[in-house]
Amino acid sequence: MSHPIQFVSLGPGHPELITLKGWRQLKEADAVYCPETLTRDGRRLSRAADILLQLGVAEDAIRRFHLPMSKQRERALEAYDRVYAEARQLQARGKRVCIVAEGDAGFYSSIHYIYEKLQAAGVPVTHIAGIPAFIAAGALGGLHVASQEQRFTVIPGNATAEELERLMADGGTVVIMKLSQCTDEVHRCIGRHPEYTYHYFENVGTPEEVYTCDTHRIAATKFPYFSLLIVQKAHPQ
């Protein structure tokens, strides 16, 4: 009997923020693929693997693969191609295979490349939804991120101060993901528009999580990889 390859979304970081469906698939899996990266001093890091271990997934079922953190995507695609080939072979032998992604596997997740490649090859796949980081961030900050007919826009880290101005003119909420890629532009926007409310988050769902709306602190911060910003117009007093 063959089983579909499960793309399991792990949520923002805390192991209790995964869905029950996702957790059940991980517990039943013969192989669970998760990415890891190398630090500058050669240490191997995998937040996904840490989550899996906290969820009780057996160490021998976890298959880590190195994912280069670079804007040059060739090496990353090579890593994904290897996972694709291995996962496809295991699935053909009747094994239960999961491939995991932090947040949601279909939201700014490069691992969806493997999903699309398997789907194109006729291999059955399933995407199990997860909580994206900006939703967990809103909960951490006690924010009503969008109300009634208010617009809600999510943009990646190539944002400019001018783009933020245009989006904020509609009076909605703007979320910037991959914040480390546009540090200077965000700082410039804060200088131009101190009247906006900036909600800054790091490492949401982990013991290292940070939340502040202190614009002076945000304007002096060099944003790390796991950070995001929710921008809203200040409510009238």
Q: For 115-140, what is each residue's pLDDT tens digit?
A: 999 999 999 999 999 999 999 999 99
pLDDT of residue 235: 58
Return the amino acid letter for 155. Answer: I
Q: Whole-prediction pTM value?
A: 0.90
pLDDT of residue 99: 98
pLDDT of residue 112: 94
Architecture of domain 5-128: 3-Layer(aba) Sandwich (3.40)
Could you tell me what percent of the chain has a pLDDT over 90?
A: 78
Start-end ranges of CATH 3.40.1010.10 in the chain? 5-128
For the residues 212-233, what does the mean pLDDT come to?
A: 94
Return the amino acid letter for 25. Answer: Q
Start-end ranges of CATH 3.30.950.10 in the chain? 133-233
Span of 51-65, 92-106, 128-142, 221-235 with lowest mean pLDDT: 221-235
Fold of 133-233: 3.30.950
pLDDT of residue 183: 94
| DSSP character string of 112-138 | HHHHHHHHHTT--EEEE----HHHHHH
pLDDT of residue 70: 66
